[in-house]
Amino acid sequence: DAFGFYGLLFAMFSIVCLGSSVWGHHMFTVGLDVKTAVFFSSVTMIIGVPTGIKVFTWLYMLLNSRVNKSDPILWWI
């Protein structure tokens, strides 16, 4: 189920891992303090979770359906 518990959990986990590595890199190179890092991590979750759910829903739809390689849906995704 693309909109189920595991889809949401996988989207959140992947966004948190990616966001943590990106903001960890920025904290190391620029020297952000901890409060700023917590703020940017929260913003990453707020923006990233709906985006992750959308992307994983598209992938789930493409992998579990009979989409031909010549269908136009592959060109706009």
Q: Are residues 7 and 56 in contact, defined by beta-carbon separation less than 8 angstroms? A: yes
In-domain check, residue 69: no
Decide if pLDDT at 1 tops 70: no
At residue 43, the 3 state secondary structure works out as helix
In-domain check, residue 73: no
* pLDDT for position 67: 67
Encode pLDDT of 29-72 as tens digits: 777 677 877 787 777 778 777 777 777 777 777 777 776 767 67
Domain count, the chain: 1
In-domain check, residue 51: yes
* pLDDT for position 2: 58
* pLDDT for position 75: 66
In-domain check, residue 71: no
User: Measured between alpha carbons, how far is residue 28 from residues 19, 37, 41 in Å?
Assistant: 14, 11, 15
In-domain check, residue 75: no
Cα–Cα distance between 13 and 52 in angstroms, integer?
10
Tell me which residue range forms the domain holding 30.
5-64
Encode pLDDT of 14-37 as tens digits: 777 777 777 777 777 777 677 877
In-domain check, residue 58: yes
